Amino acid sequence: MKTGLITSNAFLDHVTGVNHVEAPERITFILEQLKSSNLLDSLYEIQPATPSRLFPELVHESEYVDRVEKTCRNGDPYIDTLDNPICKNSYDVALLATSAVSVGVDWIFSGKIKNAMAILRPPGHHAEKDRAMGFCLFNNVSIAARYAQKEYKAEKILIIDFDVHHGNGTQHIFEEDSSVLYVSLHRYPFYPGTGSKDETGKGRGLGMTINYPLDAHTGDNNYLDIVNLSLSDKVLKFQPDFIILSSGFDAHEFDPLGGMDVTTQGYGALTEILVKFAEECCGGRILSVLEGGYNLKALAESVEIHLRKLSGIIN
């Protein structure tokens, strides 16, 4: 079976302003890289499903979804904080992103594809239940997790977040939930200020949050050692039914925001390990969802190697 690629030209319609790093070019650079490397022809291209507010309402408060829609339609320049620039189209684009992850879940669980990546924007892992943060409006990976549980009875879901920033929104959405194991490797202390080692969940979810706070300039070897030596036993013990990746590539050595030293090849090696986790635990079911990554060349090349490892197409 092929690897699915879920994207749409409509993701270019979320306009964030001149010189903003979370720009439409992030999508176009990735797709051009996949075309020029001939990898795109080997992937199964999938369009997002019909947008519906039922998707964000799986994890977000209805009043918040209303507020995002109203604020965008009004033409306001920002929502909640100055790091969330929006335009009139932003609600529709963010809603489409939630439908993109839902169709990825559908195709994977129906057995049409072995795994998939959703190349979308805006990203999502900072979005709280009732608040936009860090370029994020709706929490795409959390929506995918709840959708898989609701529609396909996936009892245990593993979310692995390797964006350079801690996914505060994802952590908070599931911190009292024993059915979702959230794992994050991120620079710390760093934006958004969360993600210490002591944050391990609450109530019934105690122990279901695992944070790996990393120093600036942490590179490939430390990332791979953590995943191989520390995380692997925890994943095998948990035995997830589905793995979702918050795939941020802003820990890349050339990223303008990250301050870390992960290489393109390092992302490939990391992905290879995560694919093995999925093969051992859940029949290879992985949905990768694009988060950060702001050096356009490094982002495009990292996504390419990530998809090569997901698909098993090396050349």
CB burial of residue 314 (10 Å; 0-12, 13-18, 19+): exposed
Structural domain spans, the chain: 3-311
Model confidence at 315: pLDDT above 80:
no
Q: Look at residue 276 in the predicted model and tell me its pLDDT.
A: 98
Model confidence at 78: pLDDT above 80:
yes
- Residues of the chain above pLDDT 90, percent: 99
**Distance separating alpha carbons of residues 55 and 135, to the nearest angstrom:** 19
Active site residue 126: yes
Tell which residue, 111, 205, 183, 96, has the closest CA to residue 152.
111
Q: From the options 3.40.50.300, 3.20.20.110, 3.30.70.100, 3.40.800.20, give the CATH code of 3-311.
A: 3.40.800.20
Dihedral angle of Cα 144, 150, 154, 155, to the nearest 10 degrees: 110
Query: Tens digits of per-residue pLDDT, 128-187?
Result: 999 999 999 999 999 999 999 999 999 999 999 999 999 999 999 999 999 999 999 999
Range 213-239 average pLDDT: 97
Output the pTM of the full model.
Answer: 0.98
Catalytic residue among 14, 60, 125, 126: 126
Which CA distances in Å does 168 have to 129, 130, 218? Answer: 11, 13, 21
